[in-house]
Amino acid sequence: MMKNSGQDFPPALNPGPGLSFVRGGEGRGKTRLLAQLAAQAAAEGRSVWLEQPADAAHDAVVARDWLAQRQGPQWSPAVAAALVQAFALAEHLDKPLYMLSAGSRRKLGLLGAAASGAALTLLETPYAALDGRSARVLTELLAEAAEGSERAWVLADYELPAGLAGVRLAATVDLGD
């Protein structure tokens, strides 16, 4: 059940603005819950970011083109440019995705998530394969998202990352171990 301000909500409820957290062990349904949230939001006409560039179907696509193909009306070139620098992605933008490490592919997806301006941004285990600097950038990004009043972000992971321990969460879902 989703908990928010002491009240129980069904997991299918679209999360509100800010950062929500879904915690769960291996095979507990994190991926399925994110997919359900994405489908529900899309059915309601809300913009959703769920895609990650790690899918092998994207291997031949150049990183810059992968981002360009996902730019919608709310895309923020300023956020994208800032995160290219913060995540040190400039040297990788003209490479096909198969040439990027798992961490660089993850950073590309995080850049897209932040720059997309999507009403609902869904991230599954976003810290996996990140170097220390990039993990700190992500923590800052998510802390800012937690304070946001327009976009809803949902982070699904095995445990709440230590850097987010003091961040106010809009909602939490515990799927168990």
User: Chain-centre distance of CA 166, in angstroms?
Assistant: 19
> Per the domain annotation, does 18 fall within a domain?
yes
> Per the domain annotation, does 1 fall within a domain?
no
How far is the C-alpha of 176 from the C-alpha of 27, rounded, in Å? 10
Whole-number pLDDT of residue 91:
97
Are 8 and 2 in contact by the 8 Å Cβ rule? The answer is yes
Q: Which residues of the chain have pLDDT under 50?
A: 1-12
Q: What is the pTM of this model?
A: 0.89
Name the domain count of the chain: 1
Query: DSSP letters along 133-153, please?
Result: HHHHHHHHHHHHHHH-SS-EE
> Per the domain annotation, does 2 fall within a domain?
no
Q: What is the CATH number of the domain that holds 152?
A: 3.40.50.300
> Per the domain annotation, does 54 fall within a domain?
yes
Tens-place pLDDT, residues 129-147: 999 999 999 999 999 999 9
Whole-number pLDDT of residue 14:
63
> Per the domain annotation, does 164 fall within a domain?
yes
- Which helix H or strand E contains 83, and what residues bound it? helix 77-86
Range of the domain at 55: 7-174
> Per the domain annotation, does 76 fall within a domain?
yes
Whole-number pLDDT of residue 1:
38
Whole-number pLDDT of residue 53:
78
> Per the domain annotation, does 166 fall within a domain?
yes
How far is the C-alpha of 146 from the C-alpha of 169, rounded, in Å? 6
> Per the domain annotation, does 61 fall within a domain?
yes
